[in-house]
Amino acid sequence: MSLIKPFRGLRPTAGQAAGVAAPPYDVLSSDEARQRANGKPWSFLHISKPEIDLPPQTDPYAPEVYAKAVENLGKMLAAGILAQDESECYYAYRLTMGGHVQTGLVAAANVRDYDSNRIRKHEFTRPDKEDDRVRQIEALNAQTGPVLLAYPACPEADALLARAAAGAPDADVTADDGIRHTIWVIRDAGLIAALTRSFDAMHALYIADGHHRSAAASRVAAARQGAGASGYFLSVIFPHHEMKIMDYNRVVKDLNGLSEADFLARLDAAFAVENVERAAGPVHPAKPGEFGLYLPGRWLRLTIRPDLIPTADPVARLDVSLLSDHLLGPVLGIADLRRDKRIDFVGGIRGLGELEKRVDSGEMAVAFALHPTRMEDLMAVADAGEVMPPKSTWFEPKLADGLVSHVLD
């Protein structure tokens, strides 16, 4: 069985993609999704967040929510808004965010290769979130949320994707956030075969985002004994060198009983601490091992002592680990990033002004700006069979839901 295969995608029909495309189900609350879908009867949010069509107090994991997703999908099929391709295809998918462009392949990825760790993971999953995705897949008999994957350097695959994305697109949508989503259907049998061979030659693929979706697909495949399309899961696979990871920053509610002066004094054990002139603006860490620290009204630059970086350990050498191991834990008393209510996380897409806002308002006492995790570091962690700390990566731009779905026929 091949690492990836073409499939009969369920897609918006001609002229419908703009009304269907929606943000990923897991980046919006139910209230936000309800607002985004207002006046958009064919938004895919009616399938991916179907509680928006039920009373506001409805539990998003209630059986009637999954039933509503099935009902809404049926309406979109009956109205001719969505239709399934007649033959098995691949799809080229280009994301454009400002000057950043990345082009990947929409494919069905082999669950067996996920189970054997050829499709590599770097995060733990939560059973409740896995259960939700299993119920959604089973109800719809389809995978509607793609898993974001990366492939290692492969000029041949890059060239094949460039060839696939050279003509007029089959869908071209600019979303409300300004991100452009462009899709080309790959029907040419020779190009399909060449792509399959090129990916089959790769030693591994890497999950960037979608650990719960891939884990759920594995559970569904096991329950169905890998029959038919259930042995594969919906994925979009980009070259790792084109993917963009943004910083994932931290804000903390208090200084663990320390005065500001005592807090700063404690940092000297592990960091060089540099005051930054207010006029210089926020501290954007320029390299790994450098951090911005914001206290009310002022920024400081922290640089970890080089001798404290364990270069042989792919997890411990990450900036998110260095900050936890030498500051959040020993100084601020935050040992469990998953459960400690004193810490929160701010995706880099919101900018460092969001850190200033949350500290200056008094909601938080201190904020930390981090250098983005690199794709090479993520891949090294996955290759080692290790797990990254929580909130280590924030990928932008995000994939859209609804442009291509995988039916488990």
Query: Hey, where are the domains in the chain?
Result: 4-244+396-407, 248-371
Q: Compute φ and ψ for 48, nearest 5 degrees.
A: -80, -25
The whole-angstrom separation of Cα 228 and Cα 142 is 12
Alpha-carbon separation of residue 111 from 4, 129, 215, 278, 353 (angstroms): 10, 19, 9, 52, 41
pLDDT of residue 227: 86
| H-helix segments, 1-44 | 17-20, 30-37
How high is the pLDDT of residue 236? 98
CB 81 within 8 A of CB 44: no
Buried b (16+ CB within 10 A) or exposed e, 371-400: bbbebebbbbbbbeeeebbbbbbbbbbbbb
How many Cα atoms occupy the beta-carbon half-sphere of 173 within 13 Å?
26
Inter-CA distances, 289 with 25, 216, 266, 295, Å = 34, 36, 18, 20
The DSSP string of 301-315 is: EEEE-GGG--TT-TT
Question: What does the block give as tokens for 340?
Answer: 């400690």
User: What per-residue confidence (pLDDT) applies to 4?
Assistant: 98
Whole-angstrom distance, CA of residue 19 vs CA of residue 42: 6
Say if residues 353 and 284 touch (Cβ distance below 8 Å).
no
Identify the pLDDT of residue 272: 97
pLDDT (0 to 100) of residue 337 = 92
Tens place of pLDDT per residue across the chain (409 aa): 899 999 999 999 999 999 999 999 988 999 999 999 999 999 999 999 999 999 999 999 999 999 999 999 999 999 999 999 999 999 999 999 999 999 999 999 999 999 999 999 999 998 999 999 999 999 999 999 999 999 999 999 999 999 999 999 999 999 999 999 999 999 999 999 999 999 999 999 999 999 999 999 999 999 999 888 999 999 999 999 999 999 999 999 999 999 999 999 999 999 999 999 877 889 999 999 999 999 999 999 999 999 999 999 999 999 999 999 999 999 999 999 988 999 999 999 999 999 999 999 999 999 999 999 999 999 999 999 999 998 999 999 999 999 999 999 8
| pLDDT number for residue 278 | 75
pLDDT at residue 111, as a whole number = 98
Distance in angstroms (rounded) separating the CA atoms of residues 231 and 221: 5
The secondary structure element, H or E, covering residue 292 is strand 290-295
Q: Which of 227, 1, 185 is nearest to 88 (CA)?
A: 185
Radius of gyration of the chain from its Cα atoms, rounded to whole angstroms: 22
Structure tokens at 261: 């002066």
